[in-house]
Amino acid sequence: MTHNTDFFNLITSGRIVTDAFHIRGSRANYTAEKTQILPYDHHLYDIICVADEKQKPTHTTPNSIRHVLETIMFFESSFDTIGKFIKDKKEFELDPSFYQVIEDLSHGRVRTGLGTTDESMIRYCKMVKTFVENNYPGQIKTIEKELKNGQL
């Protein structure tokens, strides 16, 4: 039994334990799922659904974009800020407002101007999906497989 998501993910993905359950709900009403708890997967899932226009962007979409890109940035270990990371990637170079959206809108910063449109958020999600497809194609395939199998 643990309350630490990272520890749970480590021991289940590393096959250190043979049976692990993710319990959702209260004591009286819960479901036990044999699954990892990976926020990255769920954020990438949200991005894919918005990019494919299967769901509308929400107030959490910029945070999903930032989470996915920061996770990849830390994995690549070649950048110390998200701004430098984005500047270096060709998929994001044509849209100067992209950084502002994931910086301001993912942190709840007060904005005096108009917010971004759904069309812009869909475009940003398509940019991120293309970036992941070009650099880490297995991740998109995994999410699509999990969607097909009802795992997400």
Q: Are 85 and 92 spatial neighbours (Cβ–Cβ below 8 Å)?
A: no
What does 66-100 look like in DSSP terms, one character per residue? Answer: HHHHHHHHHHHT--SSHHHHHHH-GGGTT-THHHH
Please indicate, yes or no, whether residues 71 and 110 belong to a single structural domain of this protein. yes
Please indicate, yes or no, whether residues 83 and 12 belong to a single structural domain of this protein. no
**pLDDT tens readout for residues 34-85:** 555 567 888 899 999 999 999 999 988 988 999 899 888 888 877 788 888 8
**pLDDT tens readout for residues 87-146:** 888 888 777 788 888 776 555 556 555 567 899 999 999 999 999 999 988 888 888 887
Please indicate, yes or no, whether residues 16 and 46 belong to a single structural domain of this protein. no
Please indicate, yes or no, whether residues 3 and 66 belong to a single structural domain of this protein. no
Please indicate, yes or no, whether residues 43 and 31 belong to a single structural domain of this protein. no
Q: Where are the beta strands (DSSP E) in the chain?
A: 22-25, 30-33
- Whole-model pTM above 0.95? no
From the list 114, 89, 90, 91, the residue with the least C-alpha distance to 101 is 114
Please indicate, yes or no, whether residues 3 and 71 belong to a single structural domain of this protein. no
Domain span holding position 143: 39-148
